[in-house]
């Protein structure tokens, strides 16, 4: 036992510091690492967002105050990108949550070889994002993709479909790629929640004659609410600022149909050469996410679950 | 437990040691611009998978340093997709890191306006001006001034499958696009599902094809001097209408709308189509016996014309530009000129064409591919550039979108192009 | 049966002990011993469950299996229409080429140095994040001090920032410091977003370790730091492992910052190297698949072997908030 070891050779006594100082000392390194790398660029980005900085007008950088923000907030392209991000967020989160619950319930069932499913389920989540995006880009390929091959061979479609080149389907393909990767994450968390539920509740309900569906609605769902909320928070915030998977799969196209807000911001800065507006957009996105987080925090407090 | 603490401590120290060592090594490898004692380092950014391999570039750089011992070259090769953004980021954000940058044909206007590249018109040696094809210079010109040394020369040729042609009793390659249409119909009658394959993906690829056709149909300017759109009438409109017609008639594979240039090579190599436009490198790929089922059957011809236009070719070349932020402009230009001339000797003609007129008459260069050079000689007379305007990227993106819409039948060609024309003023601000 | 809010709290706030509570293994609650009658309902249910599992496995493994097949299939088979699912010719040439070969466009060598870079960067980032974050987490867990809540919120808020907001300023700063195109730049940046996660996870974990241990150590004369180092950390080994693994995966995965800050093989990471396989005129998907498979192996192995810890880390962090 460690404590006994310490008894045998006690360390040198040192004068105790005031607790606040000690706390500060403990937290300082982390604060340094986090805030230094974040705060300085953030400040600089804030500064840049107040000026009209365009590459095509070098050396001419007038102060525009909130001009960049107003331009963006009144721009149709901006709101279009927001709606795309919103659509992506809602659909992926809904799918991941529902499929995750289903998968978790499946993994909770007593059955042989359950361990196979449980061990393999983590793999899609562990796959690096870029590999996932490239893999789905290849699967969805219009000329040689396996999705097209599968669908035509099974007979669902007549001819190969350019999934990633059509406005109507491109967003859905990106959603599928994200859902495939992140559903296991949700399932794992929900499974943990499921396993925290007392089995006796089920026994008693069974005795009372409840069907599976009734048990789901009245026992499982309410007890899972806290974990579901947490999953919702995590996924929503990640999904809203999605960039990597869309950038690799479609680059924001075709015709801006997958151009979410983060992609729009990148393009404004690096292809539209407007760094002032790019910086403003970055801030708008950040603020939006903070607001989302605040809403969720409030919701969490209301359901009386864990403190943050 | 204590044993574990000690072990953990040991591991921790070892890890820290390795990490520090790694960091030191890594930092030592980072690039530095300018070392003391009179030697100069030039930072150059080029493209991977260009006409020259990384090893070729290294060889040329070493040769340059041998001839100029006080100059070392620090070359970065990046993927094409990243080239543009990296140049912009470095010159704007990084305070001007590079001395020489590789510039794609549509970029001079943007880069000049953004004050990233310098005017070198007066510094080009006479042998360059006279020895290099006039059309090659369009890759680096803006407003009559020259901003780069042409380096990689390329255009799209017309490739066709000789076997499929003879099966349809077509004697010679088509010289006009009307002939192409007629030939395609004849070939389709012999049982080929889609006689023509194209790289009409919503990317720069489709703009290249469309430009080439537009010029053939008589429209070589996109925007007039006052900034009004010309592409939604004349040759531009005719070209788009023609492209749509080919799809509607079942002569062009609809999958072309998602295809890149590599895909076109694959389709031709699999013997699925009879005709295609592609860059120089396509010929070597399609005739490669190890990869192609139709090796030896693919021939090359100058791109068809129409009406009074004999032939057209979109300029897909790239040039080496000197940046405005370089501290050694003369040495930078020297390097660019060296690369452009030296490489003519090392020319990998399978992937790009020489830009020196002399090379075309040099049997050792042309003997590997006499047909290609014949076709090139003819086509070079008709090279056209994509619009050289500062807002090219925005224009290109809008046009890519419009062309897709038109080809998919969502808008009429006229409507699609008119919509882009309407957006023009917003690009031009 | 009481399923009120209190019951929820009680269940959810049950302290997370060290993850010997293995989620990959069967639940602790014993199945009922009595024989179940073979009813139609039961049979259907079993069929349903097994079918569900089969479908789930196919969906989970299918895409990745296709990636593997693509990496070993001959180009002709890869580009055949109609597609042949089992390629006629299998060759591991691409794997050999990427792992030991050298290609004219330097992509194979570049890929290998990218693997090395990613390894170094992810490891060092994990080490830094773990050290710095655990110490801070201990403070948040054990001490009460003014501004504690705000600090935690501020830390978590930094993870909500979209990379695009910081991209250009960070690039400018790194260039000004002479760090552009160095692994060190990425280590610094990655540490900044890995550390908040470490703090969040480790705080939740440390909260489950009884204060009595701390007190006992201090009674014996340990300083605060000493108590942490000698007593608490050894007990937290599983939590530390979980957090380390999650941090590593996070760092390995990052793309956008790497894309902008790296230029040459000196600092390119795996995601950027994979992106480089995308050529000007098209993509060699066979090669890309091979690169993808190789790039996926380290994180996949880590996740598969250590999933017990990873899952515990994820759930501990989430359940405890």
Model confidence pLDDT, tens digit, residues A165-192: 788 899 999 999 999 999 999 999 999 8
C158 contacts A38? CB cut-off 8 A: yes
Residue C317 is encoded by which pair of tokens?
A: 């962090």
Is residue B246 domain-resident?
A: yes
Is residue A44 domain-resident?
A: no
Distance CA B178, CA B187 (A): 14
Q: Are residues B88 and B185 in the same domain?
A: no
Q: Are residues B277 and B402 in the same domain?
A: yes
**CB half-sphere exposure, B154, CA atoms < 13 A:** 26
B80 contacts C187? CB cut-off 8 A: no
Most confident among A173-177, B363-367, C93-97 (mean pLDDT): A173-177
**Cβ(C181)–Cβ(C263) under 8 Å?**
yes
Closest residue, chain A, to C196 (C-alpha): A34
**Cβ(B86)–Cβ(B78) under 8 Å?**
yes
Q: Which residues of C touch A119 (CB under 8 A)?
A: 24, 304, 307
Is residue B1 domain-resident?
A: no
Mean pLDDT of chain A: 85
Long-range contact list for B413-422, CB < 8 A, 24+ apart?
B413/B237, B413/B240, B413/B241, B413/B244, B414/B232, B414/B237, B416/B240, B417/B229, B417/B231, B417/B232, B417/B236, B417/B237, B417/B240, B418/B232, B420/B229, B420/B231, B420/B232, B420/B395, B421/B229, B421/B231, B421/B232
Is residue B304 domain-resident?
A: yes
B82 contacts C275? CB cut-off 8 A: yes
C267 contacts B15? CB cut-off 8 A: no
Does residue B177 surpass a pLDDT of 80?
Answer: yes
| B195, B254, C178 from A161: Cα distances, Å | 20, 10, 48
Is residue B25 domain-resident?
A: no
Does residue C191 surpass a pLDDT of 90?
Answer: yes
Mean pLDDT of chain B: 83
**Cβ(B71)–Cβ(B34) under 8 Å?**
no
Residues 6+ apart with CB under 8 A from C39: none
Flag whether residue B201 sits within 8 Å of chain A, measured between CB atoms.
yes
**Which has the higher per-residue pLDDT, C145 or A184?**
A184
Model confidence band, residue C128 (pLDDT cutoffs 50, 70, 90)? very high
Q: Which residues of C touch B288 (CB under 8 A)?
A: none
Residue B64 is encoded by which pair of tokens?
A: 């340059």
Name the β-bridge partners of C153: none
Is residue B65 domain-resident?
A: yes
pLDDT in tens, A45-88: 999 899 988 876 767 788 988 999 999 999 888 999 999 999 99
Among B113, B257, B391, whose Cβ lies nearest the Cβ of A165? Answer: B257
**Cβ(C126)–Cβ(C248) under 8 Å?**
yes
Report the CATH number that the domain containing residue B98 is assigned in CATH.
3.40.190.10
Is residue A214 domain-resident?
A: yes
Could you list the residue range(s) of the whole structural domain that residue B250 is in? 156-314+391-428
Could you list the residue range(s) of the whole structural domain that residue A167 is in? 78-302
CB pairs under 8 A between A and B: 63
Range B318-338 average pLDDT: 92
Smallest Cα–Cα separation from B222: which of B426, B420, B84? B420
In this structure, the dihedral spanned by the alpha carbons of residues C181, C183, C184 and C189, taken in order and rounded to 10 degrees, is 90
Q: Are residues B413 and B290 in the same domain?
A: yes
Q: Are residues B277 and B400 in the same domain?
A: yes
Q: Which residues of A touch C135 (CB under 8 A)?
A: 26-27, 29-30
Does residue C84 surpass a pLDDT of 90?
Answer: no
Backbone angles phi, psi at C89, to 5 degrees: -120, 130
**Which has the higher per-residue pLDDT, B102 or B365?**
B102
Residue B311: predicted pLDDT: 92
Q: Are strands B318-322 and B148-152 parallel, antiparallel or unpaired?
A: antiparallel
Query: The domain C98-319 belongs to what CATH superfamily?
Result: MetI-like (1.10.3720.10)
Is residue B17 domain-resident?
A: no
pLDDT in tens, B61-91: 888 888 888 998 888 888 787 788 888 878 7
- Torsion sign over Cα B415, B416, B419, B420: negative
Smallest Cα–Cα separation from B115: which of B393, B320, B390? B390
Distance CA A224, CA A228 (A): 6
Flag whether residue C216 sits within 8 Å of chain B, measured between CB atoms.
no
Backbone angles phi, psi at B118, to 5 degrees: -105, 160
Residue C80: predicted pLDDT: 75
Does residue C264 surpass a pLDDT of 50?
Answer: yes
Report the CATH number that the domain containing residue A175 is assigned in CATH.
1.10.3720.10
Q: How many domains does chain A have?
A: 1
Model confidence band, residue B51 (pLDDT cutoffs 50, 70, 90)? low
Q: Are residues B350 and B395 in the same domain?
A: no
Residue C188: predicted pLDDT: 95
Is residue B375 domain-resident?
A: no
Rg from Cα positions in chain B: 25
Residue B225: predicted pLDDT: 79
**Which has the higher per-residue pLDDT, B47 or A177?**
A177
Does residue A117 surpass a pLDDT of 60?
Answer: yes
Q: Are residues B278 and B401 in the same domain?
A: yes
Residue C3: predicted pLDDT: 37
Residues 6+ apart with CB under 8 A from A295: none
Flag whether residue C255 sits within 8 Å of chain A, measured between CB atoms.
yes
Which position has the token pair 């969490």?
A300
Q: Are residues B279 and B358 in the same domain?
A: no
Residue C16: predicted pLDDT: 45
Does residue C7 surpass a pLDDT of 60?
Answer: no
Name the β-bridge partners of B161: B298
Range B86-102 average pLDDT: 81
Distance CA B405, CA C286 (A): 31
pLDDT in tens, C43-75: 888 898 999 999 999 999 999 999 999 999 887
Q: How many domains does chain B have?
A: 2
Residue C146 is encoded by which pair of tokens?
A: 């003014």
Is residue A117 domain-resident?
A: yes
Domain ranges of chain C: 40-91, 98-319
Range B245-257 average pLDDT: 91
The pTM for the full model equals 0.83
Most confident among A133-137, A177-181, B222-226 (mean pLDDT): A177-181
Smallest Cα–Cα separation from B263: which of B198, B213, B351? B198
Residue B211: predicted pLDDT: 94
Model confidence band, residue C106 (pLDDT cutoffs 50, 70, 90)? confident
Is residue A285 domain-resident?
A: yes
Share of chain A above pLDDT 90, in %: 34
């Amino acid at each position: 036992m460690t404590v006994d070891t310490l008894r045998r050779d006690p360390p040198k006594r040192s004068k105790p510091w005031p607790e606040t100082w000690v706390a500060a000392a403990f937290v300082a390194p982390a604060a340094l690492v986090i805030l230094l790398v974040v705060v300085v660029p953030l400040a600089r980005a804030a500064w840049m967002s107040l000026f009209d900085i365009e590459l095509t007008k070098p050396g001419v950088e007038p102060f525009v105050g909130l001009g960049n923000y107003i331009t963006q907030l009144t721009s149709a392209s901006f709101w279009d990108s927001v709606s795309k991000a919103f659509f992506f967020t809602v659909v992926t989160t809904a799918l991941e949550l529902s499929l995750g619950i289903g998968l978790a319930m499946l993994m909770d069932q007593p059955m042989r070889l359950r361990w196979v499913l449980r061990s393999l389920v983590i793999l899609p989540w562990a796959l690096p994002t870029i590999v996932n995006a490239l893999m789905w880009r290849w699967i969805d390929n219009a000329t040689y993709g396996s999705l097209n091959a599968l669908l035509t061979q099974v007979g669902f479609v007549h001819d190969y479909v350019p999934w990633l080149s059509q406005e109507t389907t491109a967003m859905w393909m990106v959603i599928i790629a994200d859902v495939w990767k992140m559903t296991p994450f949700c399932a794992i968390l929900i499974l943990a929640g499921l396993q925290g539920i007392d089995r006796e509740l089920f026994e008693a309900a069974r005795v009372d004659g409840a069907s599976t569906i009734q048990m789901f609605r009245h026992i499982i769902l309410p007890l899972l609410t806290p974990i579901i909320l947490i999953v919702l928070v995590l996924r929503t915030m990640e999904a809203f600022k999605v960039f990597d998977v869309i950038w690799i799969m479609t680059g924001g196209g075709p015709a801006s149909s997958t151009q979410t807000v983060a992609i729009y911001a990148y393009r404004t800065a690096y292809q539209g050469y407007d760094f002032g507006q790019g910086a403003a957009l970055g801030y708008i996105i950040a603020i939006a996410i903070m607001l989302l987080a605040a809403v969720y925090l409030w919701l969490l407090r209301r359901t009386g679950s864990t403190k943050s | 437990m204590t044993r574990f603490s000690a072990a953990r401590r040991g591991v921790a120290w070892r890890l820290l040691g390795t990490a520090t060592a790694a960091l030191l090594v890594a930092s030592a490898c980072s690039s530095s611009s300018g070392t003391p004692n009179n030697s100069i380092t030039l930072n150059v950014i080029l493209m991977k998978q260009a006409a020259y391999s990384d090893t070729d570039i290294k060889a040329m750089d070493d040769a340059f340093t041998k001839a100029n011992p006080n100059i070392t070259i620090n070359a970065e090769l990046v993927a094409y997709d990243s080239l543009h953004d990296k140049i912009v980021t470095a010159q704007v954000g990084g305070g001007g890191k590079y001395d020489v940058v590789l510039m794609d044909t549509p970029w001079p206007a943007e880069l000049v306006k953004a004050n990233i590249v310098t005017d070198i018109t007066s510094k080009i040696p006479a042998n360059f001006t006279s020895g290099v094809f006039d059309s090659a210079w369009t890759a680096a010109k803006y407003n009559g001034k020259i901003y780069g040394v042409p380096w990689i020369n390329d255009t799209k040729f017309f490739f066709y499958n000789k076997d499929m042609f003879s099966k349809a009793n077509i004697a010679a390659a088509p010289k006009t696009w009307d002939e192409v249409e007629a030939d395609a119909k004849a070939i389709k009658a012999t049982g080929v599902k889609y006689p023509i394959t194209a790289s009409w993906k919503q990317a720069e690829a489709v703009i290249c094809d469309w430009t080439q056709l537009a010029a053939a149909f008589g429209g070589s300017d996109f925007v007039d001097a006052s900034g009004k759109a010309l592409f939604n009438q004349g040759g531009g409109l005719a070209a788009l209408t023609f492209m749509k017609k080919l799809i509607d008639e079942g002569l062009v594979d609809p999958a072309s709308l998602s295809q890149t240039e590599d895909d076109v090579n694959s389709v031709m190599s699999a013997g699925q189509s009879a005709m295609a436009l592609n860059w120089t490198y396509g010929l070597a790929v399609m005739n490669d016996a190890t990869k192609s089922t139709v090796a030896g059957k693919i021939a090359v011809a100058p791109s068809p014309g129409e009406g009074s236009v004999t032939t057209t070719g979109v300029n897909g070349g790239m040039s080496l530009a000197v940046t405005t932020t370089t501290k050694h402009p003369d040495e930078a230009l020297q390097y660019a000129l060296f690369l452009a001339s030296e490489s003519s000797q090392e020319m990998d003609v399978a992937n790009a064409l020489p830009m020196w007129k002399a090379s075309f008459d040099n049997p050792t260069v042309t003997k590997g591919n006499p047909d290609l050079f014949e076709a090139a000689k003819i086509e070079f007379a008709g090279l056209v550039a994509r619009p050289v305007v500062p807002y090219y990227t925005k224009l290109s993106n809008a046009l890519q979108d419009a062309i897709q819409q038109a080809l998919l039948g969502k808008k009429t060609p006229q409507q699609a192009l008119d919509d882009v024309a309407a957006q023009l003023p917003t690009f031009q601000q | 049966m009481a399923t009120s809010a209190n019951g929820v709290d009680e269940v959810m706030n049950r302290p997370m002990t060290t993850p010997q509570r293995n989620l990959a293994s069967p639940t602790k609650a014993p199945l009922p011993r009595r024989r179940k009658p073979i009813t139609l309902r039961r049979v259907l249910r079993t069929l349903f469950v097994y079918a569900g599992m089969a479908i789930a496995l196919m969906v989970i493994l299918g895409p990745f299996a296709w990636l593997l097949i693509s990496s070993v299939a001959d180009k002709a088979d890869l580009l055949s229409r109609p597609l042949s699912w089992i390629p006629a010719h299998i060759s591991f040439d691409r794997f050999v080429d990427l792992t030991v070969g050298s290609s004219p466009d330097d992509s194979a060598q570049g890929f290998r140095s990218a693997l090395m870079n990613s390894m170094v960067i992810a490891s060092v980032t994990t080490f830094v994040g773990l050290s710095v974050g655990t110490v801070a987490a201990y403070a948040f867990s054990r001490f009460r001090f003014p501004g504690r809540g705000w600090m935690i919120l501020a830390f978590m808020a930094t993870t909500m920032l979209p990379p695009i907001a910081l991209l250009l300023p960070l690039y400018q700063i790194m260039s000004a410091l002479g760090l552009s195109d160095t692994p060190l730049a990425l280590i610094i940046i990655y540490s900044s977003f890995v550390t908040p996660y470490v703090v969040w996870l480790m705080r939740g974990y440390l909260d489950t370790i009884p204060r009595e241990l701390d007190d006992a150590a201090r009674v014996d004369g340990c300083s605060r730091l000493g108590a942490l180092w000698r007593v608490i950390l050894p007990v937290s080994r599983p939590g530390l492992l979980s957090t380390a693994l999650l941090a590593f995966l996070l760092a390995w995965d990052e793309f956008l910052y790497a894309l902008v800050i790296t230029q040459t093989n000196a600092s390119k990471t795996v995601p950027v190297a994979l992106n480089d396989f995308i050529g000007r005129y098209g993509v060699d998907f066979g090669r890309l698949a091979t690169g993808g498979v190789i790039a996926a192996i380290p994180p996949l192995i880590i996740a598969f072997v250590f999933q017990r810890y990873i899952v515990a880390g994820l759930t501990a962090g989430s359940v405890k908030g």
